[in-house]
Amino acid sequence: MVKREQWGSRIGLILAVAGNAIGLGNFLRFPVQAADHGGGAFMIPYMISLILLGIPLLWIEWALGRFGSKKGHGTAVAVFDYLWKNPVAKYIGLLGVLIPLAVVVYYTYIESWTLLYSFFSLIGKLPSTPVTENVSDYLKPFSHFLVEKTGQDASGLFLTPALETYIFFVITLLINLYILYRGVSAGIEKVAKYAMPLIFVMAIILMIRVFTLSSPDGRNFLDGLGFLWNPDFSALTNPKVWLAAAGQVFFTLSVGFGAILTYASYIKPKDDIALNGLAGASVNEFAEVILGGSIAIVASVIFFGIPATAMIASNGAFNLGFMALPAIFANIPYGEFFSFLWFLLLFFAGVTSSIALCQPAIAFLEDELGFSRQKSVLALGIFLFIAAHIPIFIKGALDEIDFWVGTFGLVVFALFEAVIFFWIYNSKEAWKELTRDNDIKIPYFFYYIMKYIAPGLLIIILISWSIEMLP
Ligand code: PHE
């Protein structure tokens, strides 16, 4: 067997893991979810989900990955098979390859829009309507501007992307494949070392610019921050807000995809997971609630006010980031530059995440099927290129996959991780495996959270979801 790759350094590993977690979820999805679910009302379930679900499940995924590294395997296929002597185990483990693979099909497509938009901002060609009092402009369904308006056929089923859209998608895909082809340490880790500092610099510049905006009728950044940070207890009894908050925590921490498991499988079998996991999560949360929470929402509240911001967010995942924000920037001096920066930030955050979504498939092909790296990347490239035609050409496909795989699938897979480790394998052994060789001690009460509370909450989430889906 070929020797498996490893991370080059600890700081490189932490940056790569932070790059994995910090993505479109932090800067696009979080503001939309928060604004759509009441701002301050969203943050309480969010924080509770982070502690009771996010962090414990993250540690479980790290432990499963480190367990895999001992055996030379980087996906849940082999790990579940070791832990559970049942022929179905490896098929359930396959979800940890298929979920990120399905997500990356549309994730790279959205990522390619960000590259396209940053390029068009740079050359001053991003069409944007001046900000008016009339927010209805930002409430229209978002079809990114290069999906030709006339492109929808009579059945309304298909989209026709403009050539630029298609070209930028291919460029984005090739960038991802090239990084993966360079490998774990010379590709993923190296990119993270450059991209992560840049992401922070760009986000901080944007945050400062947004904080110095004000509206003619006197709204400033405090109004925006107040919307997000004034706790509002009124919505705590609404299960929808809880589901959205838990879903966001999973998505942003990259938990329940199998992607953290794969990254963790490239550490040395006796390396720490507790501190690495916590460090990655902390950097991610800083990027999410502080930086992500201070750009799109705050800018929109200053320009449009709170009710309109909530309405824009409720009208789709992209209206805030792709429609309202560029329009705001178009109305300030050097706006093209800030718009360019915003989309470039999204692109960098996107790339370091999409490669993480791809890596489980690469690990599967290498570790389980014995493919070389070149062959794995080629196979993945062909698959992604073909599969991407579904969200590119079929209307509504993106949202559909995002719900079934990128939201529902995560919860199911995370539940399997916790149950297979703590219930089917052995909870004492699982705890031992999780807490060995770490640089910090995981407090013992997490044992109970991991064994009872987290799986229990996941089951409640799944049941409430099913009830909501009923007609
Ligand atoms: N956490 C990433 C985001 O916030 C998404 C992601 C999930 C990336 C799983 C890699 C693996 O955008």
Show the domains of the chain with their CATH numbers. Answer: 10-469 (1.20.1740)
Largest Cα–Cα distance in the chain?
Answer: 68
Q: Which atom of ligand 1 is nearest to the CA of 251?
A: 1
- CA angle, corner 214, sides to 332 and 316, nearest 5? 75
How confident is the model at residue 76, as a pLDDT? 98
Please say whether the beta carbons of 24 and 350 come within 8 A.
Answer: yes
Give Cα separations from 281 to 17, 199, 286, 426 (angstroms).
9, 16, 9, 26
Best substitution site from 248, 252, 355 to test ligand 1's pocket, by max atoms within 8 Å of Cβ? Answer: 252
Q: What is the pLDDT averaged over residues 284-301? A: 98
- Whether this model's ipTM surpasses 0.95 comes out as yes
How confident is the model at residue 471, as a pLDDT? 72
55-71 vs 410-419: helix crossing angle, rounded to 10: 70
Q: Which residues pair with 161 in a beta bridge?
A: 147
How confident is the model at residue 13, as a pLDDT? 97
Burial class (CB in 10 A: 0-12, 13-18, 19+), 453: middle
pLDDT (tens digit, 9 = 90+) per residue, 368-401?
Answer: 999 999 999 999 999 999 999 999 988 888 888 9
Rounded-to-5 percentages of helix, strand, coil across the chain: 75, 0, 25
pLDDT of 151 higher than 50: no
pLDDT of 149 higher than 60: no
Q: Can you read off the two tokens belonging to residue 443? A: 């407090």
Closest Cα to residue 178, out of 167, 191, 168? 191
User: pTM score, two decimals?
Assistant: 0.96
Q: Between the ranges 1-5, 213-217, 255-259, where is the mean pLDDT highest?
A: 255-259
Ligand 1 in contact with 407 (CB < 6 A)?
no
> In which element (H, E) is residue 352 found?
helix 335-363
Ligand 1 in contact with 293 (CB < 6 A)?
no
pLDDT of 2 higher than 80: no
Ligand 1 in contact with 25 (CB < 6 A)?
yes
Ligand 1 in contact with 16 (CB < 6 A)?
no
> In which element (H, E) is residue 407 found?
none
Q: Which residues pair with 158 in a beta bridge?
A: 394
Confidence of residue 128 (pLDDT cuts 50, 70, 90): low
**Closest CA to ligand 1's atom 8:** 353
Ligand 1 in contact with 33 (CB < 6 A)?
no
How confident is the model at residue 469, as a pLDDT? 77
**Closest CA to ligand 1's atom 4:** 25
Alpha helices in 254-334 (DSSP H): 259-264, 274-285, 296-304, 306-314, 325-330
**Closest CA to ligand 1's atom 6:** 254
Ligand 1 in contact with 257 (CB < 6 A)?
yes
